[in-house]
Amino acid sequence: MAEFGGGTVRPVKEALLAALLSLTTAASALCMLPLLGPLFADADWWTRPASAAVTVAAAGAVTQWIRVPAVVTPLVQLVALAITVTAHVLRDTAPLGILPTPGVVDQIIALAFSGVADIQTHVIPVPATDGIVLLVTLLLGVLTISAHWIAVTLRVPGVAAAALLSLIAVPLTVHHEGVDGAAFTWAAVGFLLLFAGDSLVRTVSWEAGAWTAAAAGLWGLGVTGTAAVCIVLALLVPALLPGVSNGSVFSLINQLRSGGRTVSTVDPLTSLRGTLTSTGNRRVLEYRTSDPAPEYLRTHVLDSFNGETWTMSPVEASTKDLLNGTIPHPPGFSTGSDAESVVTDITISTEARGMDFLPLPYPSRDVQVNGEWYVDPETLMVFSPNDDAAGLTYRVTSISSVPDEDALRAAPAATAFRVDQRYVDLPPLSQEVTQLIEEITSGADSLFDQALALQAWFTSGEFTYDLDPPRVPDNADPLAYFLLDSKTGYCQHFASAMAVMARYVGIPARVAVGYTSGERIGSGHWMVRESDAHAWPELYFANYGWLRFEPTPGEGQPNAAVPEYAATVPERAPVHEPSPHDSEPASPSAPAPQDTPAQPSAPEETREPAEPSAAESTPAPGTGAPRTDAVLTNAGIVAAAAALMLVLPALLRRLVRLLRWRRAADVPAHVRAAWSELRDDLIDLGWEWNPAHSPRTVERLLVSQGRVTPQARDALHRIVTAEEAARYAPRPPAASHLADDCRTVRRALAASFPRTSRIRALFLPRSLWQAPHLRSPEVSGTAGRVGRAPRRDPHA
């Protein structure tokens, strides 16, 4: 043996095998990174964690090449991780740009605490700040070290893969959509990579004979194959058996769970942020109403403010609150002579998955809906611990009444309100904020006028609507920074701030989350999309209860509208906004200078580089050539993993087809398999499948669009005729050669689509994740009996 670095160099084959295991661990760790992708608003957050995983694995490969005690390997990897983090974060200040001296370690710890504060301040998706990315880098580095020790040293790849897969707990815990299909697929590939790498190493390292090597290879392939089959079955069983599916192939967590009697749900503000920043603009619901100016549709009510954010008190699915149509009387509301009943028929889109709180106009007094739904008597929220509103149609009877402004001005003080204490509780506010509130409301003679003054201040043109507001500096009060410095945000910021300010002047307040009235698409017909998601404050006034106000600037959400009773714009004196440079706060009664109101350039001035936050004062890490090298290195590793999974969707699609035909034991099941194959083939090619279309309509559309050749029309007609007979005939006739007809139609359809569509259909078949949502028991299957036994002959 030759000597190298004070140790004994392993034979070349053993060294290569050890390096292979180490790099396989790194590739597996990289495959887990997409699990965290939806949590970030920036696209390049992953480069630093990925380079840390590669560096740690490389250090492990070196220690495997050189015979060193096993306990030394994690220590070497920890040093490599520290050097990598230092090079990323403090390259310009650390000795040689990479040495983690005690002073550098202190700075890294401070930046980590800054990352914790960023996580607590921002909603998902969060910006890729240095602190948050540092935390993710450290987390992935430690997980990679642990996985390397378990997989390479202990040779237990299953446990190592489970350690890396623990990252899945992060999106399942904090993200309102859980884990999507692409991220889950990447994670599954990373899980299998460790088994495959371990199997290869065991096979090559056996030298006792051909039979022994073959046995080792078969054992490794068996382990890997078993894991792969389990993953495939976990994906396909819900798709093929709707009875055990919760509505989506990749839905890995229930967003609403019942623990005893208390029901909890995802953070409404987090869900709101994710909906508004979504790249699409899907239809959420449609409704018909006789009201020419429909009210907002409310889903959640947030009643607790902790000084930084608003949260919703838990609700209980109690038997006494089981919805039976009638809604409890709205708290504090007295029906006036001008009150009218408005009937609204609402249909939720089938794509609106995970909607466990019904969108309702407020106040509602009657809701006719199918399923197990409960009503919270205090807020009138309607929710379910088990049901999902997707595809649901229900009727709501609400009360339409325009409050009298004079009566609102005569409303008694908060001490006379019979409202829960949680609607008036308020933590201490900064002196700057309280002074600002007092100045804004100083000229108002009543609580209602004070509410109008607050609303008018937000909509006066001094604020900017932006879904990507500036980051709150470290150690800054988020409310004060929004009101006095940035003056930039979206509906969540405006609603939250006005509710806090209303509580300060003595008006009970809360934040409502839901949707605006949407877009009118016909006579009494309205459509609500994702961009209509909204938050607004509700303020309490005697005899009228909770009333909606609208502080969000109109240019941000065009469908947002100020209610008629709050449309009056009161005159207000110029407001002197406190400055950090003021020696002492200005008196609320002191006259403000003429030029003290904030100018339009104020938000930009507050973002000048002259006043960076603590985290922003550090040099921008990861820029320049080193970052480019890391990206190229990581891209190569990810490309290798991508090559392994490139054919996985195609194999899954073929497996679905094979199982579908093999499960067709009788004539109705055979027909269902043929119709399902036609549907999935069209979805794969990018054709918009409408489950409401009859089989004859589908045939007519395909023929009119030239999608089938004359030779394939007979085959298509036989499939359509068989589906119609299976749906409506008491005893559908035997239909032979349907499998051959499907192949004929599939070839004809593929030839009518562009080459890009055919390639996408092969490697990324959309039916694997879209088809489950398009199965409608009323329009698909044997007489609407998807997954059920064939219909009995009524004449038998």
Closest C-alpha to 250, from 266, 237, 259, 263: 237
Q: Check residue 656 and give its pLDDT.
A: 84
| Residue 438 confidence (pLDDT) above 90 | yes
CA neighbours closer than 13 Å in the CB half-sphere of residue 62: 14
Compute φ and ψ for 618, nearest 5 degrees.
-75, 150
pLDDT at 620 over 60: no
Locate 681 and state its tokens: 């083939």
User: What confidence score (pLDDT) does residue 249 get?
Assistant: 33
Mean pLDDT of 108-113: 84
Q: Say how far apart CA 519 and CA 531 lie, in whole Å.
A: 11
As a whole number of angstroms, the distance between CA 573 and CA 22 comes to 69
Give the residue, 12 or 533, on which the prediction is more confident: 533
Q: What is the pLDDT of residue 504?
A: 93
Looking at per-residue pLDDT, the higher value among 199 and 377 belongs to 377
What integer pLDDT is reported at residue 197 of this predicted model? 73
Please determine, for residue 274, whether its predicted confidence score (pLDDT) is greater than 60.
Answer: yes
pLDDT tens-digit map of 651-709: 778 888 888 888 888 888 888 889 999 999 999 898 888 888 889 899 999 988 888 88
Of 362-371, 502-511, 666-675, 763-772, which gets the smallest average pLDDT?
763-772
Nearest by Cα to 551 from 506, 496, 599:
496
Tell me: pLDDT of 221 over 80.
no
**Location of structure tokens 């607590």:** 120
Cα separation, 549 vs 608, in Å, equals: 33
**In 441-490, alpha helices (H):** 447-458, 478-480
* 740 vs 151: which has the higher pLDDT: 740
CB contact set of 618 (below 8 Å; sequence gap of 6+): 89, 90, 107, 111, 130
Q: What pLDDT score does 244 carry?
A: 41
Tell me if 580 sits within 8 A of 536, measured CB to CB: no
Please determine, for residue 1, whether its predicted confidence score (pLDDT) is greater than 70.
no
| 239, pLDDT greater than 70 | no
Instruction: Compute the distance between CA of residue 572 and CA of residue 191 in angstroms, rounded to an integer.
Output: 63
- Average pLDDT of the residues of the chain: 75
Residue 727 confidence (pLDDT) above 70: yes
**Segment 511-560, tens digit of pLDDT:** 999 999 999 998 889 999 988 999 999 999 887 889 999 999 877 777 88
Q: Note the pLDDT of residue 393.
A: 94
In the predicted structure, residue 338 carries a pLDDT above the cut 70: no
217 has pLDDT over 60: no
Q: What is the reported pLDDT for 783?
A: 36
Q: What is the pLDDT of residue 345?
A: 94
Confidence of residue 254 (pLDDT cuts 50, 70, 90): very low
Q: What does the pLDDT read at residue 235?
A: 53
pLDDT for 160 equals: 74
Question: For the chain, what percent of residues have pLDDT higher than 90?
Answer: 17
**Predicted pLDDT at 463:** 92
Q: Among 2-11, 91-100, 572-581, which range has the highest average pLDDT?
A: 91-100
pLDDT in the model for residue 480 = 92
pLDDT at 612: 40
pLDDT at position 35 over 50: yes
